[in-house]
Amino acid sequence: MNTSSQLCKLINVDLGERSYDIHIGRGLLQEAGKLISNLAPKARCVVVSDENVLKAHGETLGESLTQAGIEFSTLAVPAGEKSKSMEMLNSVVEGLLDAKMERGDLVIAFGGGVVGDLAGFAAAVTRRGMDFIQIPTSLLAQVDSSVGGKTGINSPHGKNLIGAFHQPLMVIADTDVLKTLSDREFKAGYAEIAKYGLINRPDFFDWLEKNRDGIFSNGAALIEAVATSCQCKADVVKEDEKENGIRALLNLGHTFGHALEGATQYDSARLVHGEGVAIGMVLAHQFSNRMNLCDMDTVNRVEAHLKACGLPTHPNEIPGQLPPAEKLLDFIAQDKKVSRGKLNFILTKGLGQSYIANDVPSSEVLSFLKETLET
């Protein structure tokens, strides 16, 4: 590909007629117009984004679209999880209709996971399904949420309960845009990168341990880390697009993590998703050790790496009071299918040897949580 980026990676998500490419590299935002006009030469576009992303990178994207002769307009939503709401969905859908978008035109989701999930879902339901493109701008969105086609919003009943599987036509991940992301959000996104190593790629986890500095300084290693993460996700999604089986492995660390997010009322001042996942992954390894599945050296190694990356690894690092273990277990049980006191969990038999366990006794989880909260 003829781009100004020094290094550009291309990953294909192989889903038959819904297959698409993920472009990863530096300076790709400047190339977005060209990439889009090659894919959909006559399409008009609506860019859906949030205020922070537009302020930092809106002009670059706008210039690139204009240079490629693409007609576009912009819809801005407030930054933050609250925008994944029915009200905001309505406002985006009406905005798309106001812009006289037709089937064959394109929605561009330009932002973090919030914008990607919201704009992707708006595309899925407007005119019974419009094409859309993901231009993820947070690390979490580049390595996780922009790939795989899960779109949706939150309900008062819980997170992501209203949504659709709707695959994008293309993903453009420019690692340069991550330079304006806060340190905290960058680290949180990194937790999802480490997750892929811990699921089934111990070689990748080794590599991450050795390349931490290059990744955190936005060097070439970051592009490699994003590309490998996208490949890992693409491999899982290809096997199990609608999460009937192995896609659940992507939830490693998320059962404990979601419980902690629920327990802190999704207050991002206390805990952001990736931080919950980091703590959750350590807890999943510790719990696996308690169940005699995973050795203590592995547990210590995982914890040491996440700590070295500046991520929290224990619930007591979350500011403010946490509810008791019983309440955390309630959050877990709400999230998971429970039958006769057994829970579904992603556990591990060692580094990069995760598996889906359907028969975890809730009494064991409760004792483990009690011990954890006491230490």
Ligand X SMILES: NC(=O)c1ccc[n+]([C@@H]2O[C@H](COP(=O)([O-])OP(=O)(O)OC[C@H]3O[C@@H](n4cnc5c(N)ncnc54)[C@H](O)[C@@H]3O)[C@@H](O)[C@H]2O)c1
**Residues at the site binding ligand X, with contacts judged by CB under 6 A:** 50, 52-53, 56, 79-81, 84, 111-115, 117, 137-138, 140-141, 144-145, 148, 150, 159-160, 177-178, 180-181, 185, 273
Closer residue to ligand X, CB minimum distance, 271 or 325: 271
What CA–CA distance (Å, rounded) separates 79 from 303?
Answer: 31
Question: Could you give the angle at which helices 254-263 and 273-290 cross, rounded to 10 degrees?
Answer: 130
Closer residue to ligand X, CB minimum distance, 105 or 144: 144
C-alpha distance across the termini of the chain, in Å? 53
- List the 106-111 sheet strands across, edge first: 8-13, 20-25, 170-174, 131-136, 106-111, 45-50, 72-77
Closer residue to ligand X, CB minimum distance, 117 or 335: 117
Instruction: Please say whether the beta carbons of 114 and 84 come within 8 A.
Output: yes
Residue type present at position 189: G
CB of 61 to ligand X, least distance (A): 11
CB of 165 to ligand X, least distance (A): 10
Residue type present at position 201: R
CB of 55 to ligand X, least distance (A): 8
Residue type present at position 216: F
CB of 229 to ligand X, least distance (A): 12
Closer residue to ligand X, CB minimum distance, 45 or 153: 153
Closer residue to ligand X, CB minimum distance, 151 or 289: 151
What CA–CA distance (Å, rounded) separates 68 from 40?
Answer: 12
Closer residue to ligand X, CB minimum distance, 145 or 228: 145
Instruction: Please say whether the beta carbons of 50 and 79 come within 8 A.
Output: yes
What CA–CA distance (Å, rounded) separates 192 from 190?
Answer: 5
CB of 257 to ligand X, least distance (A): 11
CB of 144 to ligand X, least distance (A): 5
Closer residue to ligand X, CB minimum distance, 131 or 241: 241
Closer residue to ligand X, CB minimum distance, 53 or 70: 53
What CA–CA distance (Å, rounded) separates 306 from 333?
Answer: 27
CB of 216 to ligand X, least distance (A): 16
Measured CA distances, 362 to 77, 195, 342 (Å)? 40, 24, 6
Residue type present at position 215: I
CB of 28 to ligand X, least distance (A): 13
In sequence order, what DSSP letters do the residues of 205-248 get, joined into one string?
A: HHHHHHTHHHHHTT-HHHHHHHHHHHHHHHHHHHH-TT-SSGGG
Closer residue to ligand X, CB minimum distance, 160 or 300: 160
| Contacts (Cβ under 8 Å, ≥6 apart) of 297 | none
List the structure tokens of 114.
């919030």
CB of 5 to ligand X, least distance (A): 16
